[in-house]
Structure 1
Amino acid sequence: MLRESGRLTFQRLQQRLARRGTGAVEAARQWPAHYVVFNLLHASTDLTSSPYARRRAALEALFANH
């Protein structure tokens, strides 16, 4: 969840997760969530034992067309 300043806010995410029904729909409109990936541990193969450079390359390749 991002603030107007562009920083992440865990508090807004918690507020959104606590809502149900129409309140959840309104919260989703008001505070859209974004999935942020920092590492790739499994794609078509287990990468957990791979060096960071290989995991990073696999992550970049996964999102190259987006």
Structure 2
Amino acid sequence: MPPKKHRGRKALYAVMPRASVSFPPEIYKTVKDLAQKKKVSIAWVVREAVEKYVADQWPLFSNAKGS
């Protein structure tokens, strides 16, 4: 039986693993301010930062998400 096809952004994120992260207060405030300035979520800022970090650490994986 083939897997179900998910439609839309919510469905895409429903199959993504989740993580909980704690920040020092000053870092959290900076991340929150960046998110508000860019009009995106805090989660978006954190994902973007992690993707850039991984690409810097392992350049061969920098195109893994298809960009």
Structure 1 length-normalised TM: 0.24
Structure 2 length-normalised TM: 0.24
Greater relative contact order (Cα < 8 A, sep 6+): 1
Larger helix proportion of the pair: 2
